[in-house]
Amino acid sequence: MKINVEDASGAVLDWLVAKVENLNPCEFYVDGGGPEILIGTLFYSPSTKPEQAQPIIDRKGIELYPDDAVMPKATYTPDPVGNPHYWFRRYGDTILIAAMRCHVASEIGESVDVPDRLVRAQKKTSSKYVRRGSEIFPSARSKKPIAKIFTGDEGHSLRILQGCPRMEVLQRIIDECPGFLKEYNIPENQYPKLFSV
């Protein structure tokens, strides 16, 4: 199945990193839980384990911006001397997710193939969006909202965090927080505007 690197997270992102690193990943499915990636007998999760991600970050020279105004960001410039204006920038819920997305995109591009069963298994167990007042967060642990309701002269409008795939976020809000848009009289077919923090 083709996916965009900017949407990769969890075991899917870990599998992609392992492929880029030529580590021969295999998938392990836990009853009632999400998929895990194994390298031999070692659980491999550079998107959550700093000890696995840091060697990659250091080797490539990926720059980390955990306090970026939008959300955690990582950048990588393949040739800082010869072509300093050609670089990769990726965001993520955490700095390690951003760094690993940046690593994968710089090695194999934006659109990548991932085993269908891995994507399907992760979707079944992925964290749901959480509503807190007039804001939507990507998970219960998130501190930065991914969407907000703004009130202006013309009523309420939904804003999606800059850098996020708008229509995908909107569809997940509709699916996972069904009363949110209705409460503010926002039609489900509205094309949301962007906001930055």
For residue 159, name the pLDDT band (cuts at 50, 70, 90): confident
pLDDT of residue 176: 75
**Sign of the dihedral through C-alpha 8, 48, 160, 127:** positive
Is the pLDDT at 26 greater than 80, yes or no? Answer: yes
**Helix, strand, or coil here: 80?**
coil
Query: What is the CB-side half-sphere exposure of residue 37 using CA atoms within 13 A?
Result: 27
pTM surpassing 0.75?
Answer: no
Determine the residue type at 140: A
For residue 181, name the pLDDT band (cuts at 50, 70, 90): confident
Domain 2-125 falls under CATH 3.30.2120? yes
- Tell me the per-residue pLDDT of 126-153, one tens digit each, with 9 for 90 and over: 567 778 888 888 776 677 788 888 887 7
**Sign of the dihedral through C-alpha 157, 163, 164, 167:** positive
Is the pLDDT at 35 greater than 60, yes or no? Answer: yes
Q: What are the φ/ψ torsions at residue 193 (nearest 5 degrees)?
A: -85, 175
In 50-121, the DSSP E strands lie at 63-65, 73-76, 88-91, 111-113
How many angstroms separate the CA atoms of 88 and 78, rounded?
Answer: 8
pLDDT of residue 102: 94
pLDDT of residue 139: 72
Least confident of 9-13, 115-119, 177-181: 177-181
**Percent of the chain topping pLDDT 70:** 88
Domain ranges of the chain: 2-125, 130-195
CB neighbours of residue 184 within 10 Å: 15
Q: Cα angle vertex 125, ends 134, 38, to 5°?
A: 130
C-alpha distances in Å from residue 5, one per residue of 9, 17, 90, 113, 136: 9, 11, 9, 10, 23
pLDDT of residue 106: 92
pLDDT of residue 191: 66
Least confident of 13-17, 35-39, 83-87, 171-175: 83-87
How many angstroms separate the CA atoms of 149 and 140, rounded?
Answer: 18
pLDDT of residue 31: 56
For residue 161, name the pLDDT band (cuts at 50, 70, 90): confident
How many angstroms separate the CA atoms of 76 and 106, rounded?
Answer: 8
